[in-house]
Chain A
Amino acid sequence: MTTPEKLIQMVIAIALFVGVMAAILLLTARLKSRNGERVQAVAFVGPALFLVAVGLLYPALKTAYQSFFGANGDNFVGFDNYVDIFTNSSLLTVLRNTMLWVLLVPTLSTFIGLVYAVLVDRSRFEKLAKALVFLPMAISLVGASIIWKFVYEYKGTENEQIGLLNGVLKALGFETYNFLFYAPWNTLFLIVILIWIQAGFAMTILSASIKAIPDDIVEAASLDGVSGLKMFFFITVPSIRPSLIVVLTTISIGTLKVFDIVQTSTGGRFDTSVLAYEYYFQYFVSLNQGLAAALAVVIFALVTPIIIYNVRQMRRLEAR
């Protein structure tokens, strides 16, 4: 596919979209009754529903179906793949790592983002301080992983150091440390990368929520002699609770899908693999379709409750 070909395809796609929408408009424009409105609604929602069915529903069902079959997808193995996930020691490590990620990244990112937002709120250099924390958000996960890989780079104590952290350790007279090698700590060092990125996102959303707290509430509280930590715990946090939950759940969903960081920094070696990476590895490297599909189903099962909760919270936020 050359670039002109791609451009032509894009133009055709846009023309098709415009054509289909125009056709729907023309066909439904004549309908004026109440029933006609229903027909209109269906006509507009229909294509989207169709695309969701083809692009999301069908693959999801097919994946679930595949997860009961063997490596090539031809012999029925029942629940063997699922039994494998919860009994095989290396896959248990994958589950443990995923749990660590999901527990630590959302809580720590949100905590750091919240504290930071409160601290810089209405200070003189607020804009600059926020920009600094927000910057990592603009870096791709792969780029961030490469940056941090250099930070963690290891050489024996007697050798010249090129890694920032080990350079510092050596300068302070400590032994250097192979950050990305020793499990389970290496997973924590990878988690730092995502927190570094997500804290900026949390801070931005929460800072906006804090600014939206009505002034009279804050004034009333300070007249009653509330200040400092009390103000934070009894006024600020309860007032922004819905935003906090949305931030937490959004980061959780992103964390369950974490893949780039693990792939770039360790390639899943040294017991650092997580569900999404393991799915990829089983499907495309080990060519074990069944197990990969089962892993995908497990990710789906873990994400679903968080998404449902997230959507309900969003609705509540909008209803206020």
Chain B
Amino acid sequence: MRSRKIRHATIAAIATGIVLAGCASDPASNEVQTAEGTSPGEGVEGCEDLTQFGDLTGTEVSVYTSIIAPEDAAHKASYEKFTECTGAEVAYEGSNQFETQLIVRVRGGNAPDIAYVPQPGLLGTLVDTGSVVPAPEPTADNVDEWWGEDWKGYGTVDDTFYAAPLGANVKSFVWYSPKMFQENGWEVPETWDDMVALSEDIAASGTKPWCVGIESGEGTGWVLTDWLEDALLRDAGPDVYDQWVEHEIPFDDPQVVESLDRVGDIVKNPDFVNGGHGDVNSIATTTFQDGGLPILKGDCAMHRQASFYAAQWPEGTDISEDGKIFAFYLPTTNEDNGRPVLGGGEFTVAFDDRPEVQAFQTYLSSDVWANEKAEATPDGGWVSANTGLDVELLNNPIDRLSAETFQDPEAVFRFDGSDQMPSAVGAGSFWKEMTSWVTGDDSEAVLANIEDSWPN
């Protein structure tokens, strides 16, 4: 009798396992997936895009990003509207090992629903794994409406549109202290040569003019790739820059060597760096977050870093034209190439096409989210190239400057080059070699090493 009971239980248990193992999800498409029921956002202002997905109450979307504290708080706050519109919750996870961990997770079959990928090059790598889902129709419509063709192109691989742009940043900024400049009678430089002359003046006055920090865990070195890209864009112009990014000219082309040496004249000059941190080598062990902070104490005068560095200044810092901290445009080296702007941004990549995931993609690509995010970031440090973003909502003069730059049709905008290269270079050898370069290796050798590492 007893053994019969066990037998029944056994058969039941095995059968359940077999049935459940058969419930794998189907391959995804860009068709809109909807849930049953009436959306909680029906009739609520700003939810018009999302009601088509139905009632998503009780579902959850997992998001994996490289955005960590303190910048993540505003992101989480900006999702409240989404939950109000659809009923779905958002589970946020940020990591500073994001670039490598994402590949680890995708290859291991443990992909998040959505990842904010800051590199079009990484998007290509992910699409090759076959686990990325094309963006649904409503998301694509939003991108057509609010962004330019070039931005849509960064999120497209082999004519399939996958990833809508999210936030954006301007990289061609030099942070400084207007108060400090006024007290010392220093002028914001108009050309690169003026900037070097100013650096010499500041060095002569006993302050190290520049502070740089490139330590970022596994991403150590990325800060210097931006320096090189900015210099190349100014020296050789956007066309040569594009050829270099596409690998139509060798990575170690003489023009690139020249630009890297130009950067080296500043960041490898012991008289110019590393204000408030130590010697030239301390550049490699100073975190990018700490990099520019000595400006607050007057231990350093200039810090070249993207607009998102606004979030690193302590709360309540007066960031304005005559305030404690502000930024100027990294000056040009060659009149003929106009005023190029280097920038970056994140893209939302989805690994699943459940209705709540598609709804979240659509929400993030809308003008509604861009404005929600702007309101959730009162201290600034965030902008988007979304033309539906109301510039008036940006409290921070730097962000306003960035947003206007993005919405200005005349600006020569170029996306961060290393972010568009294959991951093996853009998130691997380029970062690694730049770290070696700043701590002693010479320009030609490191560029040749990166050229050798380019995947065939």
Cα(A287)–Cα(B13), bound, Å? 41
Q: Which of A41-49, A76-84, A152-160, A200-208 contacts B (4 or more CB under 8 A)?
A: A152-160
CA distance A156 to B273 in the complex (A): 11
In the bound assembly, the distance between CA atoms of A159 and B170 in angstroms comes to 31
Chain A: number of interface residues, binned into ranges: 35 or more
Measured CB to CB, the closest approach of chain A to B419, in angstroms, equals 15
Residues from chain A with a CB closer than 8 A to the CB of B429 are: 286
The 27 listed contacts between A and B (C-beta, < 8 Å) are: A12-B20, A15-B17, A16-B14, A19-B11, A23-B10, A155-B276, A155-B277, A156-B282, A157-B278, A159-B277, A159-B278, A159-B299, A178-B279, A178-B281, A181-B284, A263-B97, A264-B217, A267-B219, A269-B432, A285-B99, A285-B218, A285-B424, A286-B429, A286-B453, A287-B423, A287-B428, A288-B424
255-290 of chain B: CB within 8 A of chain A: 274, 276-279, 281-282, 284-285
Nearest CB in chain A to that of B436: its residue: A269
CA distance A226 to B221 in the complex (A): 61
Chain B nearest CB from A5 CB (Å) reads 10
Of the candidates B3, B9, B60, B453, the one whose C-beta lies within 8 Å of that of A2 is B60
Q: What separation, in Å, do the CA atoms of A16 and B20 have in the docked complex?
A: 11
A26 at the interface (CB under 8 A from B): yes
Q: What residues of chain A lie closer than 8 Å to B218, measured between beta carbons?
A: 263, 267-268, 285
Query: What CA separation (Å) do A2 and B3 show in the bound complex?
Result: 37
**Do A22 and B9 touch (CB < 8 A)?**
yes
Given contacts A267-B219, A270-B439, A284-B103, 14 further A-B contacts (CB under 8 A): A22-B10, A23-B14, A25-B6, A26-B6, A29-B3, A71-B455, A159-B294, A181-B282, A264-B217, A267-B217, A269-B221, A269-B284, A286-B429, A286-B453
7 pairs of A and B residues whose beta carbons are closest in the complex: A156-B278, A19-B13, A15-B13, A267-B218, A16-B17, A22-B10, A285-B428
Is there contact, CB below 8 Å, between A285 and B427?
yes
Chain A residues contacting B3 (CB-CB under 8 Å) are: 26, 29
**Which B-chain residue is minimally distant from A17 (CB atoms)?**
B13
Cβ contact within 8 Å between A156 and B9: no
Chain A residues with CB under 8 A of B317: none
Q: Mark B324-366, 1 if CB is under 8 A from A, else 0.
A: 0000000000000000000000000000000000000000000
B-side interface mostly? helix
Whether a CB of chain B sits under 8 angstroms from the CB of A180 is: yes
A302 contacts across to B, CB distance below 8 A: none
Shortest beta-carbon distance from B434 to chain A in Å: 10
> B160 an interface residue at 8 Å Cβ cutoff?
no
Chain B min CB distance to A87 (Å): 15
- Distance, CA A181 to CA B436, complexed state (A): 11
* Chain B window 380-416, contacts with chain A (Cβ cutoff 8 Å), 1 for yes, 0 for no: 0000000000000000000000000000000000000
> Does B125 make an interface contact (CB < 8 A)?
yes
Q: Which residues of B, 418-443, contact A by the 8 Å Cβ criterion?
A: 422-424, 427-429, 432, 435, 439
Count of chain B residues with Cβ under 8 Å from any Cβ of A?
Answer: 47
Point out the residues of chain A lying under 8 angstroms from B60, CB to CB. Answer: 2
Residues of B participating in the A interface, judged by any CB pair closer than 8 Å: 3, 6-7, 9-14, 16-17, 20, 60, 97, 99-100, 103-104, 107, 125, 217-221, 274, 276-279, 281-282, 284-285, 294, 299, 422-424, 427-429, 432, 435, 439, 453, 455
Q: Do residues B9 and A19 form an inter-chain contact, with CB atoms below 8 A?
A: yes
Interface residues of A (CB under 8 A from B): 2, 12, 15-16, 18-20, 22-23, 25-26, 29, 71, 154-157, 159, 176, 178, 180-181, 263-264, 267-270, 280-281, 284-288
| Pairwise interchain contact A19-B279, C-beta atoms closer than 8 A | no
